[in-house]
Chain A
Amino acid sequence: MADVQEFLKDFPLLNGEIDGKHIAYLDNGATTQKPHQVIQSICGYYGGCNANPHRGAYALSVKATDIYESARKRTAQFIKAKRPAEIIFTKNATEALNLVAYSYGLQNVGAGDEIVISISEHHSNLVPWQFVAKAKGATLKYIYLEEDGNLSQEDIETKITERTKIVAVTQVSNVLGLKNDVKSIVKKAHSVGAVCVVDGSQSVAHMAVDVQDLDCDFFAFSGHKMLSPMGIGVLYGKYEILDAMEPFLRGGDMIEYVQEQESTWAELPSKFEAGTQNVGGAAGLTAAIDYLEGITFDRIEAIEKDLVDYALPQLRELPYIELYGCDSKQDNKTGIIAFNIKDVHPHDVATILDNDGVAVRAGHHCAQPLHRYLQQNASCRASFYLYNTREDIDRWIAALKKVRGVLGYGA
């Protein structure tokens, strides 16, 4: 099952050596490696098609425009958006969520209103809402967790009220790796007249996403967490909502007419894409979508599940390891395992694993409120992707067994 060498050959970095070591790359929640198909598409764009899209009336510019707009169409199909104009390219998910906070939040949230988010949000889907709440005199409310790390159903029912204007939740927690039932949260949000913003950063590369089925109003993700280059991200928004919103960034390419004292805006999606955009990144995103759909999400999910099922029993055998989000009562665990080793700080764990060529994340993973809620200062996180193998897990666990000894603790 985990014999995924056929994908591994596509990833030059994973086949090479870093400081003389073959790397077991288990930090896919932070960013993924890139297959040569994606790298080639970026080279191909800059090597043969580079011009400023939407501007020049010459063949090359038309070609660049084509590549950029095809990426939009491809992305719309990928997440099953109704129309390409609902896809806004951004720098990353953070920028996409800030766009919603500034252009929707500041306009639609008022004093006394409420914004509801979950305690397991990444800072990118948390700090912008703090900003909106503070700026407008609104209240930021949190959905806390059940014992098993899943969102409290009671909180979802009671905290989303008639005063709620925005509900913002992640589809998969970047620390606990649990998939949230966002469809039912969207339903609840709509029942009180609120919009629902979904952070898809940890989901879209790992499972099939259908924004029309979810019925969410906004959906944000980063390309770099799904095999694409850094610097390209996506905001999906329902057409009518985006159309009614004010621009986020102002400048070239997003205008209709510019007078000395005022301007009017271009139609969607240009209204939200000021300045020259990341066309090379969009080309890479298209190649990544092609690559992922070629493999299918059924297979990707099966690979990640196999790795989790292979790793967890071995981790549970180590009495000094504490796991977070690994005892879900629902069948919703994804390929993210957060853990701590007794007495040892996560940064020391990561350094010691790194010495054996195993790359994991250590720290608060941009989720400080969640760590405080879990009463942990920080944690380690291993996160898997389609090119990981059981051998990577073996190397990870073998290295984990050394950690306490290096720091002078008994096993």
Chain B
Amino acid sequence: MALDDVYTEVLGEHSRNPDHKHHLACATCTMKGHNPSCGDEITLELNVEDGMVKEAAFTGVGCAISQASTDIMAELIRGKSVEEARGLAQKFISMIKGEITDEEELEELDEALALKNVAHMPARVKCAVLAWHTLDDALKSDK
């Protein structure tokens, strides 16, 4: 697989200039995510009201894949219901595990589709899914 199948322009853009990498003054819930073996660390901050994810942001350090994945996720889940957001997280994780490959079924992942090829890089799967597992943990505990 060619490098630019993974290090796509979308990924590069989100890792170099993340839109949502900042603190959230109105956060109702924060959740830390960590890959101890490689040191990726994120803190996800969410504003959840009336079952809706109104705002999402994050801070942390990590590789381009983990940081871009988190930024793309934050953009995607803003304005979604908690149920929808958790559904997206499940779908993303399934995509990276290679369980769902049908583009049509994955369409709602939008920009996150740019990370699809990480499924072919076993060593980097954990970088891609960190944010989404953290999101699921955050929304589970928010309930």
- Cβ of A351 and Cβ of B39 under 8 Å apart? no
Contact A408 B4, beta carbon cutoff 8 Å: no
Q: Are B62 and A407 in contact, with the CB atoms below 8 A?
A: no
Which of A28-36, A52-60, A342-350 interfaces with chain B?
A342-350
Cβ–Cβ < 8 Å partners of B12 in chain A:
407-408
Can you sample 24 A-B contacts with CB below 8 Å?
A: A344-B64, A345-B62, A345-B66, A347-B40, A347-B62, A347-B63, A347-B65, A348-B63, A348-B65, A351-B3, A351-B123, A362-B38, A363-B39, A364-B39, A371-B39, A377-B39, A377-B62, A378-B39, A406-B3, A406-B7, A407-B15, A407-B64, A408-B12, A408-B13
Shortest distance between the CB of B125 and any CB in chain A (Å): 12
- B121 sits at the interface (CB 8 A): yes
Query: Closest residue to A409 on the B side, CB-wise?
Result: B16
Contact B6 A351 (CB under 8 A): yes
* Chain B residue, CB-CB nearest to A371: B39
**Residues 51-95 of B at the A interface (beta carbon under 8 Å):** 61-67
B42 smallest CB distance to A (angstroms): 12
The residues of A that contact B61 with a CB separation of less than 8 Å are 345, 377
A351 with B16, Cβ < 8 A, contacts A363-B37, A406-B3 known: no
Interface residues of A in 49-67 (CB under 8 A from B): none
Q: A355 within 8 Å of B by Cβ?
A: yes
- The answer to whether the Cβ of B119 comes within 8 Å of any Cβ in the partner chain is no
* Given A347-B65, A363-B38, 14 more pairs with CB closer than 8 A: A344-B64, A345-B64, A345-B67, A347-B63, A348-B64, A351-B121, A351-B123, A352-B3, A355-B3, A363-B39, A371-B39, A378-B38, A406-B7, A407-B7
Interface centre among B12, B15, B38, B121 (most CB of A within 10 A): B38
Contact residues of A between 64 and 91, Cβ < 8 Å to B: none
Fill in one digit per residue for A352-387: 1 if any B CB lies within 8 Å of its CB, else 0: 100100000011100010010000011000000000
How far is the CB of A365 from the nearest CB of chain B, in Å? Answer: 10
B138 at the interface (CB under 8 A from A): no
> How long is the Cα–Cα vector from A378 to B63 in the complex, in angstroms?
10
CB B63 to nearest CB in A, in angstroms, measures 4
Q: A344: which B residues are within 8 A, CB to CB? A: 64
B6: nearest chain-A partner, CB-CB: A351
B9 interfacial by beta-carbon distance below 8 Å: yes
Q: Please, how many angstroms separate the alpha-carbon atoms of A347 and B39 in the complex?
A: 10
CA distance A286 to B127 in the complex (A): 40
Q: How far is the CB of B123 from chain A (nearest CB, A)?
A: 7
Which chain B residues border A406 with CB–CB below 8 Å?
Answer: 3-4, 7
Q: Which residue of B lies closest to A351 (CB)?
A: B124
Chain B residues whose C-beta falls within 8 Å of the C-beta of A408 in the assembled complex: 7, 9, 12-13, 16
B-contact bits for A381-411, CB 8 A (1 contact / 0 none): 0000000000000000000000000111100
Residues in A whose Cβ lies below 8 Å from that of B3: 351-352, 355, 406
B95 to chain A, nearest CB (A): 19
Give Cα A264–Cα B136 distance, bound, in whole angstroms: 54
Task: Give Cα A347 to B126, complex, Å.
Answer: 12
> By the criterion CB–CB under 8 Å, are A407 and B6 in contact?
no
Measured in the bound complex, the distance between the Cα atoms of B9 and A371 in whole Å is 31
Closest Cβ–Cβ distance, residue A350 to chain B (whole Å): 8
The contact of A347 among B9, B13, B38, B41, by CB within 8 Å, is B38
CB-CB under 8 A from B38, the residues of chain A are 347, 362-363, 378
- Taking CB atoms and an 8 Å cut-off, the chain A residues in 10-41 that contact chain B are none
Q: Kindly list chain A residues whose C-beta atoms are within 8 Å of the C-beta of B123.
A: 351
- The distance from the CB of A374 to the nearest CB of chain B, in whole angstroms, is 13
Inter-chain CA distance A348–B128, complex, in Å, is 12
Q: Which A residue sits closest to B9, measured CB to CB? A: A408
Query: How far is B124's CA from A362's CA once the two chains are assembled, in angstroms?
Result: 12
- Please tell me which one of the listed residues A347, A371, A407 contacts residue B124 in the complex, with CB atoms under 8 A apart: A347
Closest beta carbon of chain B to A337's beta carbon, Å: 19
User: Measured between alpha carbons, how far is A346 from B40 in the docked complex, in Å?
Assistant: 11
Assembly CA distance A344 to B65 (angstroms): 11
The residues of A that contact B66 with a CB separation of less than 8 Å are 345
A399 to B: closest C-beta gap in Å: 11
Q: Which residue of B has the minimal Cβ distance to A355?
A: B3
A345 touches B63 (CB 8 A): yes
Instruction: List chain B residues, Cβ under 8 A from A364.
Output: 39
Taking the closest CB of chain A, its distance from the CB of B132, in whole angstroms, is 18
| Chain B residue, CB-CB nearest to A366 | B37
The 4 closest A-B pairs by CB, nearest first: A408-B12, A345-B63, A347-B63, A378-B39
Q: Enumerate chain A residues within 8 angstroms of B62, measured Cβ to Cβ.
A: 345, 347, 377
**Chain B residues near A346 (CB-CB < 8 A):** 63
Asked if A347 and B127 make an inter-chain contact with CB atoms under 8 angstroms apart, the answer reads: yes
Q: Collect the chain B residues with CB atoms within 8 Å of residue A352's CB.
A: 3, 7
